[in-house]
A and B are shown apart, each in its own frame.
Chain A
Amino acid sequence: MPPITPHESDAELMTPEDVEKDVASLTEALLEKKIQRVVRELMRQSDIYVTLQQLVTSGRFANEVEVLTHAVRTLQFAVGVEKKAYAMHDR
């Protein structure tokens, strides 16, 4: 099979900064996709969706983002407490 020849062998070379930007740019696009998937999967669970709406309409939170932020932080705290409890139990 004949070799694949370069597109532009005399093209200006990429700098390390270009490479960093390239990685960041691809990462951002992939992250955007991941966020869309996670939100879609979350909202497809009807019980979660309804609960989320109820929490927003309760007036305690400004919007869905605030509810989810609060929920994740609470869970993070709870997991931390649970970890500490297990560690103490193991001593």
Chain B
Amino acid sequence: MALFESEDRVIVAADTGPLLSVFQSGTVELLRRYFSRIFIVQSQLAEFQKHGAATEIQSLIDESLVFVIKNLTDKEKSEAIEVARRIATAPTCHDPVVENHLPEAELLVVSQRVKIQCEGVLLDERAARSIAENMGLKVSGFLGILGRAGLDGLLTKDEIRQLLQSCQRQGTPLCK
């Protein structure tokens, strides 16, 4: 018997990276299994478009699994710029351009809105993860989802290995 019933799903805010890995590996079903709502911000839509996943994200929006937060307040915008700056200057960050980190920074800021009842964030970029943890957010990512699915008997070790290899073949190496 799985430890969690299908109704024990959580609300998260998800960065673009983990969702792209889900699309690359064809594991969308795991999102439906573990999450009742997934929030993203408007600026991520351009990223999905750029990475060839516009159709995939739109279909999750259409089925009301993914929700797009469109308007950030002025306060949230200025907080996001500060968070993006912190990500860009983190020792583990390979991209010093602050603007390039705005989508994930905006996501981290809006995930703290009380109204959306976010219970965690999905984030695979190490620099942003450490900033998120410093903000007191519960962080997981694509590998966390695969690992949980393994523990729940939804995936075997071999299947997880194959999924990771599939992501790697598509240019997304995930772990050491």
Which positions in A face B, CB cutoff 8 Å? 1-16, 18-23, 25-34, 37
Count class of interface residues, chain B: 35 or more
Given contacts A14-B176, A23-B144, whether A7 and B126 have CB atoms under 8 Å apart is no
Q: Which of A2, A7, A21 has the most chain B CB within a 10 Å cutoff?
A: A7
Contact (Cβ within 8 A) A4 B170: yes
Expressed in whole angstroms, the Cα–Cα distance for A14 and B144 within the complex equals 11
- In the complex, B95 has a CB within 8 A of chain A: yes
Max count, chain A CB within 10 A of own CB: residue among B34, B94, B144? B144
Residues A23 and B147 in contact in the complex (CB < 8 Å), given A14-B141, A30-B34:
yes
Distance A13 CA – B167 CA, assembled complex (angstroms): 13
Given A22-B144, A29-B119, A4:B8 Cβ within 8 A: no
Question: A4-B52, A4-B53 in contact; A26/B126 too (CB < 8 A)?
Answer: no
B12-31 contact mask (Cβ, 8 Å, vs A): 1 or 0? 10001100110110000000
Q: Which residues of B contact A6 (CB under 8 A)?
A: 20, 24, 51, 170-172
Q: What's the Cα separation between A20 and B12 when bound, in Å? A: 19
B contact residues around A20 at 8 Å (CB)? 147
Q: Does B175 contact A (CB under 8 A)?
A: yes
Listed A/B pairs (27) with beta-carbon separation below 8 Å: A4-B20, A4-B53, A5-B50, A7-B51, A7-B125, A10-B94, A11-B126, A12-B92, A13-B173, A19-B143, A19-B175, A22-B143, A22-B144, A23-B143, A23-B144, A25-B120, A26-B10, A26-B140, A26-B145, A26-B148, A27-B148, A30-B3, A30-B148, A33-B9, A33-B119, A34-B4, A34-B5
